[in-house]
Amino acid sequence: MTAGRMKAAIMDEPFSIAVQEVEIPVPKENEALIKVYCIGICGSDVHYYEHGKIGRYVVREPIVLGHELAGEVVEVGAKVTNVAVGDRVAVEPGVTCGHCDYCKSGRYNLCPDVAFLATPPVDGAWAEYIVMPSDYLFKLPDTMSYEEGALLEPLSVGFHALLRGQAKPFDRLLITGLGPIGLLAGQAAKLFGVSEIYGTDVVPLRRQMALDLGFTAALDPAGEDVRERLAELTGGEGITLIVESSGNAKAMADTIKLVRRGGKIVFVGLPAVDAVPMDMGQLIDGEIDAYGVFRYANTYKPAIQALQHSSANMEKIITHRYALDDIKEAVETARTAKETSIKVMIYPNMP
């Protein structure tokens, strides 16, 4: 038994977060205790830190944030057979009910009873240890680092978006918004064999990162005519698939002008406004398919398998690394350093 105390970063109200000592959780018979080595800061974590809520999810009790993690199994419950002490694992952060229509049909990301880490009232994992049902643990091959294990979570969003949009090797893909989700969607696209990948973002660092990660071109929607440039770059053929990950209302509306007739648009980024006006006439006239994406389902296992044999590079997007004790500085970096940071990582067991 790993009984004792551990450190956890607890947020009690917006802008108030501090490391405190709490009990190390004890795994039930179907659970494992994970020593957390690496955990990312997500846009949603920053949003809870700033506003204390996202839509209908409101922080009412002190909460531990963080849901993008990998670590080592250090204890297992009596009925756990799929992982053992010493295994390095990635953690899929949404525990679903298992018996609703959505769960049974494989679309468990739509389960109404999901308990998702760091979504109130469920605690996340900016802590030294966490317990999870062992079904949600995925063994990392020796070739994958804990960092890559943690990045499987945001990668999964892009992976799922490409599954929704039925990405093909010969797609001419445009990814709008080159934050962690957009950049990792570009890496996921490599797993689908897509080789022609364009990106747009107003932040120079993000465009440079996209080029470093093998995007075909990265355009600045504030400084150039994206539609014209894409026509040039594709030899007049046009974009067949868009993954919209900016959540910017104008960028969302513009996707209909940027995709070619018969193309597909997958909407990932959540807009900050209630309604986004869309040119439905053009959507109908062009037989454009539009999809929404909410998190992901059944992505961890196939993504781990595909990553082992690909040239995708995820770790490059990590620009900042912090110990758990420096959580406040880490979250402030993710919140304010938009021009210089992409993915900020926390290391709860950093010596």
Cβ 173 to Zn ion shortest distance, Å: 22
Q: What is the residue whose two structure tokens read 């929404």? A: 292
Q: Give min distance, CB of 170 to Zn ion, in A.
A: 30
Beta carbon nearer to Zn ion, 66 or 263: 66
Which stretch in 37-45, 74-82, 198-206, 213-221 sits in contact with Zn ion by CB under 5 A?
37-45
**Which CB, 54 or 100, lies closer to Zn ion?**
100
Closer of 198 and 300 to Zn ion (Cβ): 300
Secondary structure (DSSP) of 162-200: HHHTT--TT-EEEEE--SHHHHHHHHHHHHTT--EEEEE
Rounded to a whole number of angstroms, the minimum distance from the CB of residue 44 to Zn ion is 6
Q: Could you tell me the smallest distance in angstroms from the CB atom of residue 20 to Zn ion? A: 23
Distance CA 215, CA 229 (A): 15
Which residue, 153 or 254, is less far from Zn ion as judged by CB?
A: 153
- Strand 94-95 and strand 88-91: the pairing is unpaired
Coil/strand/helix, residue 24: coil
Tokens at 345, concatenated: 């990582």
Output the smallest distance, CB 142 to Zn ion, in A: 25
d(CA 193, CA 311): 11
Among 32, 42, 243, 303, binds Zn ion (CB under 5 A): 42
257 neighbors 279 (Cβ within 8 angstroms):
yes
Nearer to Zn ion, 38 or 103 (CB): 103
Tokens found for residue 134: 């062992």
DSSP per-residue letters across 107-133: -GGG-TT-EETTSTTS----BSEEEEE
**Least CB distance to Zn ion at residue 97 (A):** 3
Q: Kindly tell me which residue out of 22, 97, 110, 278 binds Zn ion, with binding defined by CB under 5 A.
A: 97
Q: Would you give the binding string for Zn ion spanning residues 102-121, x where CB under 5 A is met?
A: -x-------x----------
Confirm or reject binding of residue 156 to Zn ion (CB under 5 A). no
Q: Mark residue 75 as left, alpha or beta (left: phi above 0; alpha: psi -120 to 50; beta: remaining).
A: beta
Instruction: Give the residues lining the site for Zn ion (CB under 5 A).
Output: 42, 96-97, 100, 103, 111
